[in-house]
Structure 1
Amino acid sequence: MSADRPKLFLSDNSASVHPAIWEALRRADEADTPYDGDAVSTGLDERMGEVFGCEVAVLWVATGTAANCLALATMVQPHGGVVCHEEAHIEMDEGGAPGFYLHGAKLLTVPGEGAKLAVADVAARLDAIRDDVHQVQPHALSVTQASEYGRVYRPEELMALGELARTRGLGFHVDGARFANAVAHLDCEPIDAVGAAQALSFGFVKNGGMTAEAIVFFDTGLADVARYRRKRAGHLQSKGRFLAAQIMAMLEDDIWLANAHHANAAAQEIAGACGNRLLHPVEANEIFVTTTQEERDAIRRQGFDFYDWGRDAARFVTAWNTRDEDARGLAKAIANL
């Protein structure tokens, strides 16, 4: 292997595709029913139901943005709003897609440490909204598991937020772009990392997938609405078996969970060298570290690639295929600053 091989900590989106995905795509390359009528697509409900231990309905889509927005569109009317963290992905990194898919519905943002929502803060935001036609009324609550800073909601936190949503008549959605990493950190049953959510955007691309994400509906009636919205949004692919095959491959032998364990372990290796430089506890596969520009330049000169996080910090993201020697090397580079 070349000595100057890339040592990527930019994003888990930079990672290569897991070999099981390529095998699954080859197996799926046979004539079958188009759209979502193929054998693999129709088997996703049962297989995902086994993962969560309950009845679910699963729709595949091509991107996490579409997964989040199509799920929320089943809960939110155009005149309503979605309560979310002020740094949630749907607020900061989806280019206005929620407003587009939800036909103008508004995001109602709430602050919170570690990009996590607390019940008291959400309740205060809801209490401040007058119940009249002059203000946007909340229709849904969306949380990110793990959060934008790699923080993980505990089962009791999710249950409390879900109870608040239920008592306030709100839908409850979980953006699970790094859901696998959250489950691996919690070492719990997958259903416990969802709480009482009606829908989960189950991320696979960041976890070794290629071009397929899953919307898991625990309120299966919402899936009937989402199917029409998926078609209207241009996400009903005619050869959907290739998306379904990717998801199914990741579920087999719990590859999704094994990949997350590896990424989390690599993150812990790096975090152990950061000391008081850590901006947030490392609970998934993201590490945020206080650094100067000169220190970041020094790390890059050693072959590591990552993102600056503002003027005074760096973000490092590990992946399912992060090499052990690279994680150790980055840890050493940070320790030596």
Structure 2
Amino acid sequence: MFFASDNWAGAHPAINERLSKESTRFAAAYGTSDLDRAIEQRFNEIFEKEVAVFFVATGTAANSLSLASIARPGGLTFCHTEAHVIEDECGAPDFFSGMRMVGVEGPAGKMLPENLIERIARYPQDSVHHGRAAAVTMTQATEVGTIYSLDEIDVISKIAKDNGLPLHMDGARFANALVSLGCSPAEMTWKRGVDVLSFGGTKNGCWCAEAIVFFDPQLAKDFAFLRKRTAQLFSKSRFIAAQFEAYLKDDLWIGLASHANTMADRLRTGFGSLNSARLAWQTESNEVFAVLPKASAKAASEQGAKFYDWLEPRDIPEKVGKDEVLIRMVTSFATTQEDVDQFLSICASA
């Protein structure tokens, strides 16, 4: 019963097999191998246009270097107040980009358009003392398991474009959002005005595979130097490419995300039938937030369940009682129906 995070899961067997195969051969280093080039072309096919792709090791690196690539002196980046980039990356995006994060409030983990407009207006381009608006970043799926609809992405994108700001998407759980919306990668990104994407694979079955995707290759003309200077150019980058080859082959990545989302649906349905527990709010990806009696959470933990206690968001629909606890549960490609049903059974009996 491992629900702490999807990055607790191992690597999918197909990805392990491809890594093992790659380990027995020689190939050119520093991203110049035939395999690296082939996977770059595969990204063009997935996104239905020519893109510039750069492999990095972690989601934090992907977000930080994406923002660094579009940074401006004195710049500010606007994101949701509880976004991963502002809450959980130890200031790395600020450090590498040289820009400050400015939080934008909104329910369900999503920036409210009117709040974004107001925040941007506080920092005009000639505001030398306070800094100037420079970029917008949105998390898809969000940090609280919700998803921006295509229309909502359009609105955020228009605000960014109206103010001359590039739009970055943190896609650590990109595949989970894609499956939930039932659209194509192109429809969720550049066709909506997204300029740069952090494309995550690690949370969805890879071992160590993240990519930065520029939808206008001109934006990436100097990025190779930035990646090298920040120690993210792997000499054996083909091992990231090999993971992506298996991950993207025959839409494995979509199947893995679909399974994780289905297991989350099973959890959501199960909590809805319990008298002793409730969903904290509705989610749409592979994250589930529930309010349990402390006794139930303790019983589940003692029987081997792994999950995280979670701080109450500012806009939680119903406050957590003194004898209750808010928990986060995340499903993965490796989550089974038995895991879900056992957890729910413990909650029901406790």
The 5 A counterparts of 1:110-189 are: 110-130=104-124, 131-189=126-184
Look up the SS of the partner of 1:108 in the other structure: strand
Contact 1:199–1:216 (CA<8 Å) still a contact in 2? yes
1:292 is aligned to 2:293 = yes
Q: Per-residue CA shift, 1:50-92, capped at 9, x if unaligned? A: 1121221111000000001111111112410110011111101
* 1:42 matched residue in structure 2: 37
Local SS of the residue matching 1:216: strand
Contact 2:74-2:132 within 8 A present in 1 as well: yes
Specify the alignment match of 1:27 in structure 2. 21
TM-score, normalized by length of structure 1? Answer: 0.94
Identity of aligned residues (%): 40
What 5-or-longer segments of structure 1 have no aligned partner? Answer: 1-6
Q: Give runs of aligned pairs for residues 1-337 of structure 1, distance below 5 A.
A: 7-29=1-23, 30-103=25-98, 105-130=99-124, 131-194=126-189, 195-275=192-272, 277-310=278-311, 312-337=325-350
Instruction: For 1:191 and 1:333, locate their aligned partners in 2 and report how far apart those are by CA, in whole Å.
Output: 42
Q: What letter matches 1:151 in structure 2?
A: T
Letter in 1 for 2:291: T
Query: Distance between the aligned counterparts of 1:185 and 1:193, measured in 2?
Result: 11
After superposition, what is the alpha-carbon deviation per residue over 1:15-74, rounded to whole angstroms, capped at 9, x for unaligned? 010111112212323111110101111122220111121221111000000001111111
Matched-pair contact (CA < 8 Å) for 1:76–1:139: yes
Residue 14 of structure 1: CA displacement? Answer: 0.4
Which segment is superposed worse, 252-261 or 321-330?
A: 321-330
CA distance in 2, matches of 1:123, 1:97: 25
Opposite residue 333 of structure 2, the aligned amino acid is W
Describe the SS at the equivalent of 1:83: strand
Per-residue deviation, 1:100: 1.4
Deviation at 1:336, TM superposition (A): 4.2
Kindly provide the amino acid, as one letter, of the partner of residue 241 in structure 2.
Answer: A
Determine the C-alpha separation between the residues in 2 that align with 1:226 and 1:336.
55
Q: Hey, what's the Cα distance between the residues in 1 that align with 2:3 and 2:182? A: 24
Which one-letter code corresponds to 1:174 in the other structure?
Answer: M
RMSD of aligned residue pairs (Cα, Å): 1.4
Q: In 1, Cα distance between the equivalents of 2:89 and 2:242?
A: 26
Q: State the 1:150 CA deviation.
A: 0.7
The answer on whether the counterparts of 1:272 and 1:331 sit within 8 Å (CA) in structure 2 is no
2:320 aligns with: none
The AA in structure 2 aligned to 1:317 is V
Structure 1 residue 266: Cα displacement: 0.3
User: How far apart in 1 are the matches of 2:346 and 2:188?
Assistant: 34
Contact 1:79 1:137 in 2 (8 A): yes
* Cα shift readout 1:291-318 (whole Å, capped 9, x = no counterpart): 2322210222332111111373011110
- Unmatched runs of 5 consecutive residues or more in structure 2: 312-323
- Does the Cα contact within 8 Å between 1:173 and 1:199 map onto a contact in 2? yes
Distance (whole Å) between structure 2 residues aligned to residue 91 and residue 101 of structure 1: 13
Is contact 2:135-2:165 (8 Å) kept?
yes
